[in-house]
């Protein structure tokens, strides 16, 4: 299984290794991420098989829904032990980003503790969930190559990761928070690149091109 163009062009990772894998633990946006990659010309396998995930060249960890229920499913497949120990580039999306943190205020959920950060609930005075387009700025790192500050991306969430030392993009919604974070081989974005038009496509391409 190679990370490869669906038209059989060579893989961006050189055609060697375990390809591009999307972690499938029942999250609702798994297929939408797969379809977004297909639109870009890349094949990806959706799986909860630990060995397939470990062997991948790149791993995407998506998610929508509620943190506690998601963690129950992740533990059911033993992925709470697998995900934090992955060595290849990993991209968390939306709830996937929150689950990569230490703790979520959503039903007081202990998460994967890849990032030592607590996920907070938006103030009740704000309209939640935040649904729709918002800008990202203070962009840092390879994930945002070719992406300009104040580019619009698509959000759907009621909880947020506060600004922290791992933040590589910021967004404002009544409070400034981390739109994306990075630590070692782990990357994550609160927004949905698969729903963020050309900007989201560029970010997904940048992730696939990471060495």
What is the tens place of the pLDDT at every residue in 104-122? 999 999 999 999 999 999 9
Which of the following is catalytic: 101, 106, 111, 194? Answer: 194
CA distance 143 to 197: 16
pTM comes to 0.90
| Count of beta carbons in the 10 Å neighbourhood of residue 25 | 23
Tell which wins on pLDDT, 129 or 14. Answer: 129
Q: What pLDDT was estimated at residue 4?
A: 46
27 — pLDDT class (breaks 50, 70, 90): confident
Task: Establish whether 192 is a catalytic residue.
Answer: yes
CA distance 153 to 104: 23
Q: What is the CA radius of gyration of the chain?
A: 16
CATH topology of domain 20-107+117-208: Rossmann fold (3.40.50)
Helix pair 30-40, 197-208: axis angle to 10 deg: 80
Q: Which of 6-10, 17-21, 177-181, 191-195 has the lowest mean pLDDT?
A: 6-10
Q: Which residues of 137-163 are buried (b: 16+ CB within 10 A; e: fewer)?
A: ebbeeebbeebeeebebbbbbebbbeb
Which of the following is catalytic: 101, 111, 182, 192? Answer: 192
Q: Is the pLDDT of residue 62 over 90?
A: yes
Task: Establish whether 94 is a catalytic residue.
Answer: yes
The enclosing H or E element of 120 equals strand 115-121
16 — pLDDT class (breaks 50, 70, 90): very low
Cβ pair 20, 44 in contact under 8 A? yes
Which of the following is catalytic: 94, 101, 111, 189? Answer: 94
Q: Tell me the two tokens of residue 137.
A: 């700025």
**Domain layout of the chain by residue ranges:** 20-107+117-208
Tell which wins on pLDDT, 125 or 85. Answer: 85
Q: Is the pLDDT of residue 150 over 90?
A: yes
3-state secondary structure of 21: strand
């Amino acid at each position: 299984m190679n990370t490869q163009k669906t038209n059989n062009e060579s893989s961006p990772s050189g055609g060697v290794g375990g390809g591009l894998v999307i972690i499938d633990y029942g999250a609702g946006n798994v297929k939408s991420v797969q379809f977004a990659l297909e639109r870009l010309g890349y094949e990806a396998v959706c799986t909860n098989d630990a060995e397939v995930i470990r062997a991948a060249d790149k791993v995407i960890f998506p998610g929508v829904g509620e943190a506690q229920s998601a963690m129950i499913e992740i533990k059911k497949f033993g992925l709470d032990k697998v995900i934090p120990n992955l060595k290849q580039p990993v991209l968390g999306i939306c709830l996937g980003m929150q689950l990569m943190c230490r703790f979520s205020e959503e039903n007081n959920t202990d998460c994967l503790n890849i990032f030592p950060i607590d996920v907070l609930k938006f103030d009740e005075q704000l309209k939640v969930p935040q649904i729709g387009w918002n800008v990202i700025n203070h962009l840092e790192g390879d994930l945002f190559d070719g992406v300009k500050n104040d580019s619009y991306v698509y959000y759907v969430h009621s909880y947020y990761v506060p600004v922290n030392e791992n933040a590589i993009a910021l967004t404002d919604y009544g409070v400034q928070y981390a739109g994306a974070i990075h630590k070692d081989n782990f990357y994550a974005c609160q927004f949905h690149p698969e729903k963020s038009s050309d900007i989201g496509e560029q970010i997904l391409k940048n992730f696939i091109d990471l060495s």
